[in-house]
A and B are shown apart, each in its own frame.
Chain A
Amino acid sequence: MIDILVNLGGGFEIMFTPMAILLCLLGVFAGITFGAIPGISPSMAVALLLPMTFRLEPILGMVLLLGAYKGANYGGSVSAVLINTPGTPSAAVTAFDGYPMAKSGRVGEAMGVSLYASVIGGIIGTVVLILFAAPLARVALRFWPSEYFALTVLGLTTVATMGGKHWQKALVAVVFGLLLNTVGMEPFAGTRRFTFGEVRLFEGFSIVPAIIGLFALGELFYNLEHYSKGEKFDKLAYKLPKLSYYLTVWKNITRAGILGTIIGIFPGAGGTIAAFISYDVEKRFSKKPDEFGKGSPEGVAAAESSNSSSAGGALVPLLALGIPGSATAAVLLSSLLVHGLNPGPEMFVDEPELVYGMFASMFMANAFILVVGLLGAQLFVRVTDLSKKLLYPLIFVFAIVGSYAVTNSMYPVVVCLAFGVVGWIFRRYGFPTAPIVLGIVLGRLAEMSFRQALMIGGIESFYQRPLTLIMLLTAIAAVVYPIVKKRITGRAAIGRED
């Protein structure tokens, strides 16, 4: 512990130089800006800055990239809250409550909660990374496909709370998402599934344009149908709440932050699954679960905190074992390799200045996110002050160019448009769209891990491995418990009436 503190002190010494501070600020600013643009993922934001690091010292390069990574994770929530267009896939969960809050005039509150949750979640992720990087990475690598499958099942159970009163419709939507996810090349033998001769469908539906379509275009088509001239958002409360307000959601932020870090450690799981699961957990813990999906600050806090903390978790296998657990971690790894550095247990011994400098830079990046977020929030929220006759066309073109930017081709744009129509129809008839995203996000991992588990250990692997069994039983309990509780409460109410 003393060693860690001493090394961390050394890391902060490096960080408190003008160049490091400037690069960290630049990275955060660029990250927030890129992250807020739909279609520019954190990995793309980091990759765009990668060439700038080639001439910098390794630590300074990493300071820039980590700032961008952290900034982009927060930036995704800005557009999610303001215009229901998540800048990053993981910010989709933030939109569930952030956008309804903005729509009902609580835009400052929504922006404030997302900012503080993101910063505190980021700090939690960094602390866990510093304290437990090596042992956690080893544990994560011992996970079998059956455990990954159980994790996806746990993720899918979030649909039970997502639909609220319309839980049956939510189930249909999640299965629809899972079915759509089977389109494209099958992950084992490469069999083409449901492509109907269309080459562009070989890769399936990419998640970013699908989310932009479902959330942004779906909402826009719905609003256009009910549009009347001169419409503006309700009277807006731009001001961010006082600091004491955030104490009301500190439990949500902390729990989601810890959960997000743990899920983030699993290579391939990522912030989106973390955000979905944390959102579900917080809804179950909440005293006002009915507010979730309609503008609950707790929902925004959970989604943002877990999303942000998962970034710290994703760095655990990278730094401790040299295994990139996400696309962004892979870009960070390439930056280290360019400078001749090989991440792994030896790096903690051979290059403590670099490792702890990176940790210190993550703390600093969080501080800068708070500063940029607080200053920028007053500006960002003014977007919703635009009249809808200007805002709607601009969201349309943003959505189109954001989708186009994913692969520099028209295919994601077509996907975005198609999902926009689906989103509009679903919204119109009271089918929630979020479960479709859940199905698409979890579908591939569920299939891969399920089939791998069957191949390696047979059906026994699902009940003979204790952790798998615990996670699967938790998933079953997560679905059954609310139903049983509802029935018992219902019977008790009938009993009282009699």
Chain B
Amino acid sequence: MQLVFLIVALAVVWVLIRPFKRLRPYTGQVLVLAGVFWIGLLFFIVSYSFPTPRFAAVATSAATIPRFWFYVLIPVTILALIPMLKGEEVPDPKWGSLWRVAIVFGVLVASLFAFRYIGYYLSSAIFLVVMMWVLESRNRIELIAVPVGWVIFSHFFFARLLYVRLPIGTLFAGLFG
């Protein structure tokens, strides 16, 4: 829910800065600042729901520090905005191949979800193959050897030697469990 609010807040900021020609080259940077400021503001508002200390002698509460950092954030954000308003800041970079980032991110998230069902080993092997494919690796030996090698290495090094309990997944739980 907070993520939705953040996206809405960023959209509002984006709409608000469109009329200002001077800020347009810095849209991304302004949105980063707005995002950080939004998180600070959210923390500040939420901090009012924290219980107040029972003892009067206690000078601070759980809300003290988050509020303090928010107070610091206000001038700091303004300071960061000034070079952009003056046009002294380096403009936003152009977008590269976002599709590649999106695919890798999507596959990564999907493989993390798949840990529970098909286990770490198969999931990470599939991720490796897909990612190598996205990075334009077409060598079949590499596409097979790297995931297989990784699975063997991670099993012996992480699971056996370091006792990391890598998930084997519900699908394989019956076989190995």
Taking Cβ atoms with an 8 Å cutoff, the residues of A that contact B are 34, 37, 40, 48, 168-169, 171-172, 175-176, 178-180, 182, 186, 188-189, 191, 193-194, 196, 221, 224-227, 229, 388-390, 392-394, 396-397, 400-401, 404-405, 408, 410, 413-414, 417, 421, 424-426, 428-431, 446-447, 450-451, 454-455, 458
Contacts and interface: CB of A to CB of B under 8 A. Distances in A.
Contact of A455 (B2, B28, B59): B59
Interface in B105-163: 105, 108-109, 112, 115, 120, 124, 127-128, 131-132, 135-137, 142, 146, 150, 154, 158, 162-163
A225 B98 contact: yes
B68 to A, nearest CB: 9
B39 A176 contact: yes
Nearest to B163: A48
A425 B32 contact: yes
For chain A, what secondary structure do more than half of its interface residues adopt (helix, strand, loop), or is it mixed? helix
Contacts of B164: 401, 404-405, 408
A482 to B, nearest CB: 15
Contacts of A40: 162
Interface in B77-106: 77, 79-80, 82-83, 90, 92-93, 95-98, 100-101, 104-105
B165 interface: yes
Shortest 9 CB-CB distances between A and B: which pairs? A225-B96, A191-B62, A389-B135, A186-B62, A393-B131, A168-B80, A389-B137, A182-B66, A454-B59
A409 to B, nearest CB: 9
Contacts of A424: 101
Interface residues on B, range: 35 or more
Given A176-B36, A182-B43, A447-B65, A224 B108 contact: no
Given A394-B146, A401-B164, A389 B124 contact: no
B83 A168 contact: yes
Q: Which of A194, A224, A405, A430 has the most CB of B within 10 A?
A: A224
A320 to B, nearest CB: 32
A175 B40 contact: yes
B43 A227 contact: no
B17 to A, nearest CB: 14
Contacts of B23: none
Nearest to B109: A417
B50 interface: yes
A172 B76 contact: yes
A186 B76 CA distance: 25
Given A224-B104, A397-B127, A193 B62 contact: yes
Contact of B43 (A171, A194, A410, A413): A194
B64 interface: yes
B33 A393 contact: no
B50 A455 contact: no
Given A189-B53, A225-B100, A451-B60, A179 B66 contact: yes
Contacts of B127: 393, 396-397
Contact of A405 (B76, B95, B162): B162
A396 to B, nearest CB: 6
A176 B1 CA distance: 20
A388 B124 contact: no
B8 interface: no
16 contacts: A48-B163, A168-B79, A172-B76, A179-B40, A188-B62, A225-B96, A390-B132, A393-B127, A393-B132, A394-B146, A397-B154, A408-B164, A414-B112, A417-B108, A450-B65, A451-B64
Contacts of A431: 29, 32
